[in-house]
Amino acid sequence: MKYFTTFVALLLVYLLLAGFTVDEVILGSIVSAILTVLLTKYLNFKIDLKFPLRLLKFILIYIPVFIWKLILANFDVARRVLSPKIPVNPGIVKVKTNLKSDLGKLTLANSITLTPGTLSIDVLDEYIYVHTIDVKGSDGLEKEKNISGPFEKILEGVFE
């Protein structure tokens, strides 16, 4: 099962690059089969029967939220760039995450980097260390709501 998903993912990338003709499908299958044997020990995705549902959730819920946040982030950047008078009090805060899988943590950290005013620096154990332009809210819970709130729940549905 693990081999099969890796194979399909690699073949998909190859066919997107090369186009769908009979020759390419044959060559792509050979290439992907060889790469699957070589790569499977480095890639560890947990794949089960709920996978299509998760993929659907990922595409339909996560991606629109992500793009919306990305656009907001850019307007935020624009505001800061065009009027540098806005006071900044930057700081590094730690945010607790409940996600267990590595891929989930990776996606959450990447999403945090692309949302307004935040930049994830490192993930250690269950904390994500985030650089924020503006440290808001003195107690921990409020900060977490500001930074990882919108993504945490969605990604829990996708990856856990």
Partner 1 sequence: MTIAGYVFMIIGGLFFLLGGLGVLRMPDTFNRIQAGTKATTLGAFSVLIGVGLVNFEWSWIAKIIIIIVFIVISNPIGSSTIAKATYYSKYKPDNLVQDDLEKRGDE
Partner 2 sequence: MKKLFGLILFMGLGVLIILALNNTISFPKFGSVDLSDRVADAYLDNDNVSEVGSANIVTAIVVGYRGFDTLGEVTVLFISALGVAFLFSFKKEKRLDLKFKPNFMLKHGSKLLFGIMLVVSLYIITHGHLTPGGGFPGGAIIASGVLLLYLADDKFRSNIKGFKVLEGVAGSLFVIIGLLGLILATSFLENFIASGTVGQLLSAGIIPIIYVLIGLKVGSEIASVVDNFLTEEESA
Give contact residues for partner 1 (rule: CB under 8 A). Answer: 13, 15-17, 19, 70-71, 73-74, 77-78, 80-81, 84, 88-94, 109-110, 113-114, 117-122, 124, 129, 131, 133, 135
Question: What is the CA 56 to chain-centroid distance, rounded?
Answer: 15
Contact partner at residue 91 from partner 2, partner 1, none, CB < 5 to 8 Å by partner kind: partner 1
Quick check: helix, strand or coil at residue 47?
coil
Contact partner at residue 35 from partner 2, partner 1, none, CB < 5 to 8 Å by partner kind: partner 2
Name the amino acid, one letter, at 59.
Answer: I
20 binds partner 2 (CB under 8 A): no
17 binds partner 2 (CB under 8 A): yes
Quick check: helix, strand or coil at residue 132?
strand
Residue of 42, 52, 82, 84 interacting with partner 2 (CB under 8 A): 42
Count of alpha carbons within 13 Å of 110, Cβ hemisphere only? Answer: 11
Q: 136, 143 in Cβ contact below 8 A? A: yes
